Amino acid sequence: MLSPALLSIAMESNHQSNCKLNRIEKKFLRKQIKARHTLLRHEGIETVSYATQVLVVANGGLGNGVSRNQLLPVLEKLGQVDALLMPPSKPYSFVRYKTVEESKKAYVTLNGKEIVDDLGQRTILYLNYVEKAQWKELGLQTFPPGLKVVEEIVSFEDEKLLLESINWTEDKNNQNFQKSLKHRRVKHFGYEFHYENNNVDKDKPLPGGLPDICDSILEKWLKEGIIRHKPDQLTVNEYEPGHGIPAHIDTHSAFEDEIISLSLGSEIVMDFKHPDGVTVPVMLPRRSLLVMTGESRYLWTHGITPRKFDTVQASKGHKSGIITHDVGDLTLNKRGIRTSFTFRKVRQTPCNCSYPLVCDSQKKEPPPSFPENDKEASQLEQEYVHRVYEEIAGHFSSTRHTPWPHIVEFLKALPRGSLVADIGCGNGKYLGINKELYMIGCDRSQNLVDICRERQFQAFVCDALAVPIRSGSCDACISIAVVHHFATTERRVAALQELVRLLRPGGKALIYVWAMEQEYNKKKSKYLREDRTSPEKKEEISSDTSVQEMLVEQMPGVGNQDSAYSVPSINNFQHGSCNSKKGANSKLPIHTNRTSFHSQDLLVPWHLKGNPGKEKSIEPFGPVGTHDASPVFHRYYHVFCEGELEAACQALSDVSILQSYYDQGNWCVILQKVSSSL
């Protein structure tokens, strides 16, 4: 048996470091803590660390075979028992002592006490202080944790005013207006909600904020303690009978914990689903406020089935609560037009909830696989090329400042007054090289094109597979480090064909793509040669010395410090990896920067630094030092084997290859458009 003195020291101070506990005592402590957590998690019982009159006695309940006859005498030995509550079917009970002193005595003495139940089985009691004897409602279903419904929260007059305050007429100039979704009309205030990614654009608040009438109502709710935080985003949804919203969790990274929804015009049944499969239908009466926090906000999905009638409990009418399975009491309720005002607070820092599996801030993306059709390829490119360049544009641009000599040579050799298109111009590095040319750049990334514009270049946003330039109008085109971002052979060829389409007969195109072979003629490319310790590597935004620039600026992947990998010596090209056929559903490998390639199709990491392009106010970091690890982005590449680019170009119509060479880790081709017989 544990010595009470030692126990009391252990219990009263939670600092185990101050006490010398033996192994048994430590084990006991663990069990007690576990019991505490179990009670909280499953039963909604909150224990407190300070002494109160009421104790919860875990393992001392009717549900685990302990009877009142057995337990009461044990408790009465320590003091005067005011009440012993033993909820049916629960493995715990509550005891209230007349004084806190007596309760303390019981806490110290009875913790860890072994008693024998009805069946003669031994069980150990664990005691914890509580504020009051409280447990979840009995029944098959309970509200999802953190959920509450406050009825009659606004008056009929306020309901009318709120509904009238929304102007639904289509007004293209009004940013608040959202074209109606398939199921219902919506309008946003404060921040625009984007349905493509279920997130808000935190950098672009909508002018006007929330309507005035909402502001005063929210203040009232704050004062009354109905809500704890003041929201800054509002989405108004109008549901006609038959409308619904698919089950979803509001994006963790978009909004803070408390999400509230006011139901006006009509009541409705909203379904809450737990990942384990449990579904709880909840009646939301007219003029009630639904408050979702904690588990109900982060883990359970909520949705409204698109239908015209809801199944409700006849006896409860339109009162809030869960719709039970009691078949004898169910009836149908015809829906009316329900308008919901959902208020949320936009999150400014990543989410750090306890539900990482459903948290977009914490969850790692599933690794992408090799695309099997054009649509998959397009989606892969969207996620692992376009989205990435938009995010890294500023940093990327800062590492792309030195034009490569061969490309400069090509441009400078063009006749004066040539019209030249740079397809995939990035930050416009080549657009100003030769002032005698008229150069137009285009890129898929708006953020990169913005940078071109800042430099006074002519540039626009488009896709390299569909360039909006007149056929046969260009004297020359360049495509530098672009075609290797397309995920299928067909798309790569299509991109090359576009370049040719733009050329006038006799016009030339220069194409650079990343080579699989990073070592050529026994000479390693600069990409491989650099190691971590070389001083030149440290600078991304380097000074003007050309050597430094040349070394720093490399193929994609420069400026990333990865773990130090010594370069394996490679004598020849890795012919083995070229022309290898991909198995179905094979995952794309993630490349380790500064090493040779082992696969033609892969993801290359980019470690984002700073973010010179964006002007964001930095949130002060909390004490837990969160979020200072630099984000890593993965970009998709198809690296080319020797001869692959040339073969692809040769297959194009009306083309002749002028030159084909290797330049610092790239395969390069200069081709010319020949006159086609019309």
Partner 1 sequence: MKLLTHNFLSSHVKGVGPRGFPLRLQASEVRIMPVEFNPDFVARMIPKLSLGEVPTEPIQGYEQNEDFLRTMHHILLEVEVMEGTLQCPESGRVFPITRGIPNMLLSDEQTEA
Q: Which residues bind partner 1 (CB under 8 A)?
A: 378, 416-417, 419, 436, 438, 440, 442, 444, 446, 449-450, 453, 456, 458-463, 465-471, 473-474
Q: Tokens 């458009």 belong to which residue?
A: 673
Q: Tokens 């590095």 belong to which residue?
A: 429
CB of 463 to partner 1, least distance (A): 6
* Run of H or E including 672: strand 666-673
Tokens coding 630: 């630099």
Residues in the chain: 678
**In 312-421, which residue ranges form alpha helices assigned H by DSSP?**
374-381, 387-398, 405-412
Nearer to partner 1, 83 or 461 (CB): 461
Distance from C-alpha of 200 to C-alpha of 675, rounded to nearest angstrom: 51
Nearer to partner 1, 207 or 277 (CB): 207
CA angle (173 as vertex; 168, 177 as ends), nearest 5? 35
Nearer to partner 1, 421 or 480 (CB): 421
Nearer to partner 1, 13 or 456 (CB): 456
Nearer to partner 1, 460 or 520 (CB): 460
CB 672 within 8 A of CB 507: yes
* Run of H or E including 446: helix 446-454
CB of 487 to partner 1, least distance (A): 15
- Distances from the Cα of 411 to the Cα of 422, 430, 475, 508, angstroms: 11, 9, 11, 10
Nearer to partner 1, 290 or 442 (CB): 442
Max CA distance (Å), the chain: 109
Distance from C-alpha of 321 to C-alpha of 96, rounded to nearest angstrom: 30
CB of 613 to partner 1, least distance (A): 14
Nearer to partner 1, 400 or 444 (CB): 444
CA angle (194 as vertex; 296, 221 as ends), nearest 5? 45
CB of 470 to partner 1, least distance (A): 5
CB of 328 to partner 1, least distance (A): 53
For residue 32, the one-letter residue type is Q
CB of 656 to partner 1, least distance (A): 23
Nearer to partner 1, 498 or 530 (CB): 498
The 8-class DSSP code of residue 16 comes to: G
Task: Give a three-class secondary structure readout of 96-115.
Answer: EECCHHHHHHHHHHHCCCEE
Tokens coding 576: 């083995």
Tokens coding 463: 């896709």
Nearer to partner 1, 225 or 417 (CB): 417
Distance from C-alpha of 305 to C-alpha of 125, rounded to nearest angstrom: 46
Could you give phi then psi for residue 213, rounded to 5 degrees?
-60, -30
CB of 192 to partner 1, least distance (A): 17
CB of 461 to partner 1, least distance (A): 5
Distance from C-alpha of 159 to C-alpha of 502, rounded to nearest angstrom: 61
CB of 452 to partner 1, least distance (A): 8
Nearer to partner 1, 467 or 588 (CB): 467
CB of 492 to partner 1, least distance (A): 16
CB of 453 to partner 1, least distance (A): 5
Query: Within a 13 Å sphere around the CA of 83, how many CA atoms are in the beta-carbon half?
Result: 10
Distance from C-alpha of 532 to C-alpha of 534, rounded to nearest angstrom: 6
Query: Within a 13 Å sphere around the CA of 311, how many CA atoms are in the beta-carbon half?
Result: 13
CB of 153 to partner 1, least distance (A): 42
Nearer to partner 1, 450 or 663 (CB): 450
- Distances from the Cα of 630 to the Cα of 351, 563, 606, 611, 615, angstroms: 16, 14, 10, 11, 17
Q: Tokens 């008229």 belong to which residue?
A: 438
CB of 507 to partner 1, least distance (A): 12
Q: Please, what is the angle between helix 68-76 and helix 100-110, to 10°?
A: 110
CB of 419 to partner 1, least distance (A): 6
Nearer to partner 1, 19 or 465 (CB): 465
**In 530-594, which residue ranges form alpha helices assigned H by DSSP?**
546-552
Distance from C-alpha of 54 to C-alpha of 133, rounded to nearest angstrom: 7
Closest CA to 261 of 214, 192, 300: 214
For residue 642, the one-letter residue type is E
Nearer to partner 1, 20 or 172 (CB): 172
CB of 43 to partner 1, least distance (A): 52
Map residue 141 onto helix, strand or coil.
coil
For residue 173, the one-letter residue type is N
Nearer to partner 1, 106 or 474 (CB): 474
Nearer to partner 1, 105 or 455 (CB): 455
